[in-house]
Amino acid sequence: MLEFFQLHEAAILWLTGLSVITFIGTLIIVPLLVVRIPADYFANDKRHPTPWALHHPFVRGTLLFSKNLAGYVLILAGILMLLLPGQGLLTILIGVMLLDFPGKFRLQKWLVTRRAVLKSINWLRKRANRTPLNLDF
């Protein structure tokens, strides 16, 4: 086992560094994103339009490709972090949230309706002087 770490020392150092950066990044980015969610985002069954919906098709396609690519990279990094130090599950979750796939909004809505998740989100929103999420069904 020690031999494995000695042979792959550089890769393990890079992955550990990526784990630390991802951990610190999630501590900063997640609260910023949570407070930017409109309070009524999950109140309807219909999704809000994406910010780039009115841009030129090439720009829209490039942004969508980049967002999905970042999602796949985070999922891969999260899977690696399950074996190495880091926030593997959280990184995978963020990666999935970046991807576009059928049923994504329903999955997000289901996750937000979990009591612990909603409590955490509304706590962050309260600290930022934002109204709690409205989940009228």
Say how far apart CA 116 and CA 42 lie, in whole Å: 16
Helix, coil or strand: residue 86: coil
Determine the pLDDT at residue 42: 83
Please tell me whether the overall predicted TM-score, pTM, comes out greater than 0.85 for this model. Answer: no
What does the pLDDT look like over 86-101, one tens digit per residue? 667 777 877 888 898 8
CA distances from 69 to 65, 76, 99 (A): 6, 11, 8
Low-confidence ranges of the chain (pLDDT < 70): 48, 52, 84-87, 137
Closest CA to 51 of 60, 42, 43, 62: 60
Single-letter amino acid, residue 137: F
